[in-house]
Amino acid sequence: MATVTFKNNPVTLLGKEVAVGDVAPDFTVLANDLSPVTLADSKGKIRLISVIPSIDTGVCSTQTRKFNEEAASLGDDVQVLTISVDLPFAQAKWCAAEGITNVQVLSDHRDLSFGEAYGTIIKELRLLARSIFVVDKNDKVTYVQYVSENTDHPDYEKAIEAVKQLTN
C-alpha cells in the first residue's frame, strides 16, 4: 500500500491500491444534484481523476482550479473528475463561487465507493488521500500518483502529460 502522511503524521489508507496497467475499478459517487455517477458513465473517454481531501482548503482548491483550467484545452475526448468526501451541496456552492465549469466535482461522502475501490480512504480522518489517476478509453489505468504528503500538491505536469499521450 502507498505510504502517505497528513501534516507529516502517518495515516492508514483503506481499500485496494490501484496500479498502472490495472483495469480501473468502477465506483458510484454523487453529482451535486445527488444523482449517481459511475466510471462507466464516461466509458469511451479518457478520464483524469483528481482526488482531494476537502474542496474548501488551499491545496485542494488550487488543484481543482488548475485541472479546471487545463480541462478546457484537453478536448472533448477527455473528462476531468474531481472527487472528495465533501457534501454535494458544499461542492456545488464552492464550484459556483469559483466558476468551475470544465471539471465534474463529485462526492464520495455517502458510500466511500471510490475510496474503497482506489485505496484512498484515510482511516483516521474519513477523508480521501490526495491522488491522481488517468484512465484510458478502454478503462485501463495509465497513470497513478498517490501524493505522499497530503498537504503537498500533486505533479500537475506529469498528470496532464499522461492525458496528452493518450490523445495523440
Amino acid at residue number 79: Q
Q: Please choose, from the candidates 77, 101, 89, 96, the residue with its C-alpha nearest in 3D space to the C-alpha of residue 30.
A: 89
The answer to whether 63 touches 71, Cβ cutoff 8 Å, is no
Give catalytic status of residue 95 as yes or no: no
Q: Which helix (H) or strand (E) holds 66?
A: helix 58-71
Where would I find the beta strands (DSSP E) of the chain? 4-6, 9-11, 13-14, 28-30, 36-38, 46-51, 78-84, 103-107, 121-122, 127-128, 131-135, 141-146
The answer to whether 53 touches 128, Cβ cutoff 8 Å, is yes
Amino acid at residue number 41: D
Which three three-digit cell numbers place residue 22? 490495472
Question: Helix or strand or coil: residue 110?
Answer: coil
Catalytic residue (one of 60, 78, 85, 117): 60
Catalytic residues: 60
